[in-house]
């Protein structure tokens, strides 16, 4: 029997109600054999961690991680990616299917799950592809993947743009209770070379741009298809004020649509692109101040349900091209909580209960993870917990990362650096206490 | 001046110095032996990721007339498709001992990025849809001569820039430089070829060429790529010519002495008629000649002042 007693901590549980929940404000947390237990029952030989002045929150869950394995193990492996996740306070993550080969079969999904278990730093849940090979033409084996426990499907990196295929996907997964996560971007409107928000900066720098309408119009279409099919839609990395308006409209109509925003879209703006540094080339692109403000507001009021990293590691040489030729994406697992604390808590936009809801409860619910994920801590359930020091700050050093890749947009910037201990499925996966 | 990446980086005094020195360099063209010893022993590499015989030859002649060793490297096709990163390509070339890199790239910002990887002076010879600063300088040189001499001659001059503004590095560089010189650029294009955020460029914008033409001192026609038609930017060449081409009729609507410019290569009959290209007030061949003088001046400004081994 293993016993872990974390004492002196302040538990923030989030707003959900549960009869067997640990009460908010709890000072001592006991974990016996990986499950929450009554701290008054702790035995003398329990391992004790003194966490005076620290805060505990339900373990973070990332809806949107690119682990790159199999296929691009030079950029990231499941081992290094989940290590980065643990350092970032994540107990679980969903691994996007745009690997080589693509996760578009039950066997491929099982393989990802096995790699995750072998690494053991965070619980890894595979996201299945919507279409075979992400080609956007034929449905992948959604049902077979669902039978292995896949709950989220996405062609992320590509938009499922064929409206007929999107309708079929939404329809087909409904009986499995799964959800289609859409990379919402009209590929015709944006064009193949687009690499920047379309607006003043793209015009001046001569970079092909994505208009906001390329995102909002697809969300609006998908909301209608979700209503038509009585299914469930999740919108990946929302990046514009227009998209927020469409989400608000869809939710008001009772459509089951959820949405995520990345930490980088909450903090960074189009201005970062001025020096043509490919570190800041990301898809969807960084947007102007007005959009960033709208995203912070929408995450605060719940129009956007969750934060997701879109952690996208790239080997150095894939970023050392001209801006337009470089790979899209930035890493984000290790800095995610810091950026959210800075943009949402330190700005006064959200309280800690709200943060718990956006970083853990909502993602767990959207992906229907179960197993103590996405719920407030409950006696008897597996412990997934992140212990943090909310006031701790540090200068981001990309070379100190556990990720194999260095495309870190915050390098040299001072940010909250709160994560002290991560516990995933009852086991300590990271600690600097 | 360490690099020439953008007209936005140039102070007015830099511009004047480049244009004044170009006047001296222009005289070399009329000598029987067209050679100055200024850059003897210096190496200039034309690193072109995108073909441009015109710009490459102009830089090559400019370098040779200054006695530099000029090497042309064609890195045609995206370095991505060749599997080599831009940084590796640049490091490889720079390792050969290069004093200046003249870079042409189909992607905006590439020359700026290159400055982070080499000690060589970098000259932007056209990057994507961003800038083509030596083109704007040679346009200014040509127009300054046409307007009659000193820099003050630009003040208040209205200069129409007509055509595919969105994709034109020539337009971007010219707007910045002409404004710096005191001129008033007027951008004319169908709305499909006008870039996002153009309202913040600080110049007049119009979609009506005829309304603009009578009141300008110069008209710069931009090359229109026929591929833009398949991109849906305009319906047919015929319609483009009728709406935005410098036709014979439009030439006669110009004030006497209005300069006609085109960066070349021209699509005769599309954006510019033969009558306009060959008109008495067409400066198109003067622009080509000015290109060599201006590039000599730029190379000298960057490399000439340095200690020679
Ligand atoms: Zn995506």
Q: What is the pLDDT of residue B80?
A: 59
First to last CA, chain A: 23
The CA-atom distances, in angstroms, between B75 and each of B31, B50, B78, B79, B121 are 34, 7, 8, 7, 19
Whether A310 is a known active-site residue: answer yes
SS3 content of chain A, % helix, strand, coil (to 5): 35, 20, 45
Interface of A with B in 304-363 (CB under 8 A): 317-318, 320-325
Pairing mode, if any, of strands A90-95 and A123-126? parallel
Residue A332: both structure tokens together: 């984000």
Test A204 with B88 for CB contact under 8 angstroms.
no
Nearest to A207 among B85, B106, B108 (CB): B108
| CA–CA gap between residue A93 and residue A86 (Å, rounded) | 10
CB-based contact B140:B177 (threshold 8 Å): yes
**Tens digit of each residue's pLDDT (9 = 90 or more) over B135-177:** 999 999 999 999 986 556 899 999 999 999 999 999 999 999 9
Q: How far is CA A383 from the centre of its chain?
A: 20
Which residues lie below 8 Å from residue A204, measured CB to CB, with a gap of 6+?
B172, B197, B200, B201
More confident residue, A245 or B80: A245
Minimal CA–CA distance to A65: which of A134, A157, A176?
A157
| Active-site residue, from A310, A318, A389, A417 | A310
**Tens digit of each residue's pLDDT (9 = 90 or more) over B11-56:** 999 999 999 999 999 998 888 888 899 999 999 999 999 999 999 9
Pairing mode, if any, of strands A28-32 and A35-37? antiparallel
Percent of chain A with pLDDT over 70: 100
Q: Find where tokens 């469930």 sit.
A: A232
Q: What is the pLDDT of residue B152?
A: 64
Interface of B with A in 88-117 (CB under 8 A): 88, 105-110, 112-113
Q: Which residues of A382-409 are buried (b: 16+ CB within 10 A; e: fewer)?
A: bbbbbbbbbeeeeebebeebbbbbbbbb
| pLDDT score of A18 more than 90 | no
By C-alpha distance, the chain A residue nearest B80 is A325
Q: What confidence category does residue B81 fall into, taking pLDDT thresholds of 50, 70 and 90?
A: low
Residue A369: both structure tokens together: 């993870």
- Local structure of residue A311 (DSSP, 8 states): B
| CA–CA gap between residue B287 and residue B273 (Å, rounded) | 18
> Using a CB-CB distance cutoff of 8 angstroms, which residues of chain A are in contact with residue B113?
276-278, 322-323
Residue B71: both structure tokens together: 């090497």
Q: How far is A203 from chain B (nearest CA, A)?
A: 5
Burial of B299 (C-beta count, 10 Å sphere; 0-12/13-18/19+): buried
Q: What is the mean pLDDT of chain A?
A: 96
| CA–CA gap between residue B141 and residue B21 (Å, rounded) | 11
| CA–CA gap between residue A127 and residue A68 (Å, rounded) | 13
Q: Find where tokens 């305009």 sit.
A: B234
**Tens digit of each residue's pLDDT (9 = 90 or more) over B182-223:** 999 999 999 999 999 999 999 999 999 999 999 999 999 999
| pLDDT score of A120 more than 70 | yes
Interface with chain B: mutation pick from A202, A206, A406, highest number of B CBs within 10 Å: A206
Which residues lie below 8 Å from residue A328, measured CB to CB, with a gap of 6+?
A195, A281, A282, A283, A312
The whole-number average pLDDT for the span A192-200 is 95
Interface with chain A: mutation pick from B75, B86, B92, B104, highest number of A CBs within 10 Å: B86
| pLDDT score of B305 more than 80 | no
Which residues lie below 8 Å from residue A288, measured CB to CB, with a gap of 6+?
A197, A199, A200, A201, A269, A270
Which residues lie below 8 Å from residue B21, measured CB to CB, with a gap of 6+?
B297, B300, B301
| CA–CA gap between residue B172 and residue B133 (Å, rounded) | 9
**Tens digit of each residue's pLDDT (9 = 90 or more) over B236-289:** 999 999 999 999 999 999 999 999 999 999 999 999 999 999 999 999 999 999
By C-alpha distance, the chain A residue nearest B175 is A204
Q: What is the pLDDT of residue B307?
A: 56
The whole-number average pLDDT for the span A129-140 is 98
Percent of chain A with pLDDT over 90: 93
Q: What is the pLDDT of residue B309?
A: 43
Interface size A-B, in CB pairs within 8 Å, comes to 85
The whole-number average pLDDT for the span A264-289 is 98
Nearest to A321 among B86, B128, B172 (CB): B86
Minimal CA–CA distance to B299: which of B8, B102, B137?
B102
| A45 phi-psi bin (left φ>0, alpha ψ -120 to 50, beta other) | alpha
Question: What are the beta bridge partners of residue B158?
Answer: B184
Interface of B with A in 192-211 (CB under 8 A): 195-198, 200-201
Test A322 with B113 for CB contact under 8 angstroms.
yes
The whole-number average pLDDT for the span B78-100 is 85
Q: What confidence category does residue A1 fall into, taking pLDDT thresholds of 50, 70 and 90?
A: confident
Q: Is A276 on the interface with B (CB under 8 A)?
A: yes
Minimal CA–CA distance to A430: which of A119, A164, A11?
A119
The whole-number average pLDDT for the span A194-219 is 97
Q: What pTM was estimated for this model as a whole?
A: 0.94
Please, how many CA atoms are within 13 Å of residue B211, restricted to the half-sphere of its CB?
A: 9
CB-based contact A139:A132 (threshold 8 Å): yes
| pLDDT score of A297 more than 50 | yes
| pLDDT score of B77 more than 70 | no
**Of A15-19, B113-117, B172-176, B286-290, where does mean pLDDT reach its minimum?**
A15-19
């Amino acid at each position: 029997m293993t016993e872990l007693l974390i004492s002196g901590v302040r538990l923030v549980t989030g707003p959900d109600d549960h009869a067997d929940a640990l009460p908010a404000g709890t000072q001592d947390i006991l974990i016996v054999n990986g499950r929450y237990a009554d701290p008054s029952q702790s035995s003398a030989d329990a391992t004790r961690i003194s966490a005076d002045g620290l805060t505990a929150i339900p373990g973070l869950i990332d809806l949107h991680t690119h682990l790159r394995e199999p296929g691009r193990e030079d950029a990231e492996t499941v081992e290094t990616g989940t290590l980065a996740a643990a350092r970032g306070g994540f107990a679980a993550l969903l691994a996007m299917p745009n690997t080589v080969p693509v996760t578009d079969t039950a066997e491929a999904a099982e393989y990802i799950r096995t790699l995750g278990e072998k690494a053991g730093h965070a619980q890894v849940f595979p996201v299945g592809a919507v279409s075979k090979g992400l080609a956007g033409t034929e449905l992948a084996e959604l049902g077979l993947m669902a039978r292995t426990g896949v709950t989220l499907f996405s062609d992320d990196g590509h938009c499922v743009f064929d409206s007929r295929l999107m309708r079929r996907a939404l329809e087909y997964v409904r009986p499995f209770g799964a959800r289609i996560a859409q990379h919402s971007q009209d590929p015709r409107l944006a064009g193949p070379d687009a690499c920047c928000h379309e607006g003043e900066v793209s015009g001046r720098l001569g970079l092909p741009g994505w208009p906001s309408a390329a995102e909002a119009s697809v969300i609006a279409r998908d909301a209608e298809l979700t209503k038509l099919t009585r299914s469930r839609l999740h919108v990946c990395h929302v990046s514009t004020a227009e998209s927020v308006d469409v989400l608000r409209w869809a939710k008001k109509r009772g459509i089951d649509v959820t949405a995520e925003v990345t930490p980088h879209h909450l903090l960074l703006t189009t201005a970062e692109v001025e020096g043509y540094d490919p570190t800041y080339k990301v898809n969807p692109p960084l947007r102007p101040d007005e959009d960033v403000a709208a995203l912070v507001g929408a995450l605060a009021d719940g129009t956007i349900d969750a934060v997701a990293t879109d952690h996208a590691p790239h080997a150095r040489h894939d970023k050392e091209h001209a801006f337009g030729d470089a790979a899209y994406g930035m890493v984000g697992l290790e800095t995610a909580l810091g950026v959210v604390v800075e943009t949402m808590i330190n700005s006064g936009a959200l309280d800690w209960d709200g943060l718990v809801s956006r970083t853990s409860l909502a993602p767990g619910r959207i992906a229907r993870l179960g197993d103590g994920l996405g719920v407030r801590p409950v006696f008897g359930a597996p412990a997934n917990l992140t212990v943090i020091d909310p006031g701790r700050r540090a200068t981001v050093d990309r070379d100190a990362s556990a990720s194999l890749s260095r495309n870190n947009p915050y390098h040299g910037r001072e940010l909250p650096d709160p994560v002290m201990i991560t516990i995933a499925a009852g086991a300590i996966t990271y600690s600097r206490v | 001046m360490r690099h020439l990446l953008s007209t936005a980086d140039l102070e007015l005094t830099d511009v004047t110095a480049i244009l004044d020195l170009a006047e001296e360099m222009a005289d070399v063209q009329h000598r029987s032996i067209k050679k100055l010893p200024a850059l003897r022993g210096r190496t200039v590499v034309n690193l072109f990721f995108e073909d441009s015989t015109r710009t490459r030859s102009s830089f090559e002649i400019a370098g040779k007339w200054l006695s530099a060793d000029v090497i042309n490297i064609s890195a045609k096709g995206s370095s991505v498709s060749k599997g080599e990163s831009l940084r590796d390509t640049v490091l490889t070339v720079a390792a050969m001992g290069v004093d200046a890199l003249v870079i042409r790239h189909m992607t905006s910002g590439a020359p700026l990025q290159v400055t982070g990887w080499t000690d060589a002076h970098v000259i932007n010879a056209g990057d994507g849809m961003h800038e083509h600063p030596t083109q704007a300088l040679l346009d200014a040189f040509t127009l300054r001569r046409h307007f009659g001499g000193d820099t003050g001659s630009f003040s208040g001059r209205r200069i129409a820039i007509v055509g595919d503004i969105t994709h034109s590095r020539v337009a971007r560089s010219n707007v910045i430089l002409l404004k710096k010189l005191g001129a008033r650029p007027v951008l004319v294009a169908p709305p499909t070829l006008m870039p996002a955020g153009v309202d913040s460029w600080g110049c007049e914008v119009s979609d009506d060429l005829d309304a603009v033409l009578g009141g300008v001192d110069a008209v710069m026609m931009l090359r229109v790529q026929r591929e833009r038609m398949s991109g849906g930017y305009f319906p047919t060449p015929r319609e483009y010519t009728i709406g935005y081409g410098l036709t014979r009729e439009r030439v006669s609507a110009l004030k006497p002495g209005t300069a006609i410019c085109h960066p070349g290569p021209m699509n005769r009959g599309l954006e510019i008629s033969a009558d306009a290209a060959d008109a008495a007030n067409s400066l198109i061949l003067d622009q080509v000649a000015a290109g060599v003088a201006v590039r000599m001046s730029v190379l000298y400004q960057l490399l000439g002042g340095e200690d020679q081994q």
